Amino acid sequence: NAGVTQTPKFRVLKTGQSMTLLCAQDMNHEYMYWYRQDPGMGLRLIHYSVGEGTTAKGEVPDGYNVSRLKKQNFLLGLESAAPSQTSVYFCASRPAGGATGELFFGEGSRLTVL
Amino acid sequence: TQLLEQSPQFLSIQEGENLTVYCNSSSVFSSLQWYRQEPGEGPVLLVTVVTGGEVKKLKRLTFQFGDARKDSSLHITAAQPGDTGLYLCAPRRQNDYKLSFGAGTTVTVRA
C-alpha cells in the first residue's frame, strides 16, 4: 500500500529555474495539502485542495502554484526558484469530513536552491 | 491567525527519565492532534483528543486536552531512544480546511 508518494525526493535548482513536485495518493482522499518545513518553524501550509479542480492558499503561498487536475494528484510548482525556497516539502492527504481526520504524509522532498 | 506555542523547543533526556511537552494557544479548538516525526520521514498521527479534560494513553505516552480546549500536554514515562523525534501539535477547528501545526518540540532520548 503506497499511501502518499512524493517525487522527486531530492532536487537542486539554480536561482530562477522552475520545477514541479508531484504528490500522488492512492487512498481516494478528497483533501490534499502541501507544507514546507524549515528548522524551528514546524510545518507551514503552502496551498491545499478540498477536491479535484479546486485549490486554495495557505499560510505561505507566495512563489508557489498548485494544480489538482486529478483527484489522486496534487502538483506544487515553483516558477522562478529563490534561495528562500530551500526547504523540505511535505504533501499530505486526508478523507473529507470533520476536523478529526488523520493526515497521511509523504516522506518529503528536499529542495535546495543555489 | 491563532497564536500557538509549543514548549520547550528542544528537550534532551537520559533513557528512563520522564518528560512533558506542552501545546498552548489563546484560541479554543474543537479537537487537537499530536504527531511524531522521525528524521527523514513524514509526521505520523499519535492521537486525537476531542473532549475538554480528556486523557488518552498510548503505552508510555499520556495525552491530555485542557478543560477549556485551549491547550494540551504530552507526557512520556520512562523514555526510550525510540521516542526520539519531533513532536507536533495540530489544533483543529470544525469545518476549518487549513490544517496548521505548532513549531514542534524536538525530543532526544540518550541511551
pLDDT values of chain B reduced to their tens digit, one per residue, 111 residues = 457 899 999 999 999 999 999 999 989 999 999 999 998 999 999 999 999 999 999 999 999 999 999 999 999 999 999 999 999 999 988 778 888 899 999 999 999
Whether B10 contacts B106, CB under 8 Å? yes
- pLDDT given for residue A1 in this prediction: 63
Query: What integer pLDDT is reported at residue B94 of this predicted model?
Result: 79
Q: What is the tally of structural domains in chain B? A: 1
Asked if residue B8 belongs to a domain, the reply is no
Per-residue pLDDT for A10 more than 60? yes
State residue B93's pLDDT score.
85
Residue with cell 490544517: B99
pLDDT value of residue A59: 92
Domain that holds residue B40: 14-110
What is the reported pLDDT for A42?
Answer: 86
What pLDDT does residue A52 have?
A: 95
**Domain assignment present for B3:** no
Please name the residue of chain A whose CA is at the shortest distance from the CA of residue B102.
A42
Identify whether B9 is part of a domain: no
Predicted pLDDT of residue A99: 66
Within a domain: B60: yes
Measuring CA to CA, which residue among A23, A25, A18 is closest to residue A7? Answer: A23
Residues 6+ apart with CB under 8 A from A75: A20, A21, A22, A23, A66, A67, A68, A69
Q: Is the pLDDT of residue A79 over 60?
A: yes
Sort out which chain A residues have CB atoms less than 8 A from B101's CB and list them. 35, 42-44
* CA A36 – CA A21 distance, rounded (Å): 12
In a domain, B18, yes or no: yes
Res B80: pLDDT: 97
Q: For position B56, what pLDDT does the model report? A: 97
CB B88 within 8 A of CB A43: yes
Number of domain units in chain A? 1
Q: How far apart are CA A49 and CA A94, in angstroms?
A: 11
Of B6, B41, B45, the CB nearest to A103: B45
Read off the CATH number of the domain in which A84 is found: 2.60.40.10
Which domain, by its residues, includes A20? Answer: 4-113
Residues of chain A contacting B43 with CB distance shorter than 8 Å: 43, 90, 103, 105
* Min Cα separation B39/chain A (Å): 10
B91 touches chain A (CB under 8 A): no
Q: What is the model's pLDDT at position B2?
A: 54
Report pLDDT digits (tens) over A23-67.
999 999 999 999 999 987 789 999 999 999 999 999 999 999 999
Give domain status of residue B53, yes or no: yes
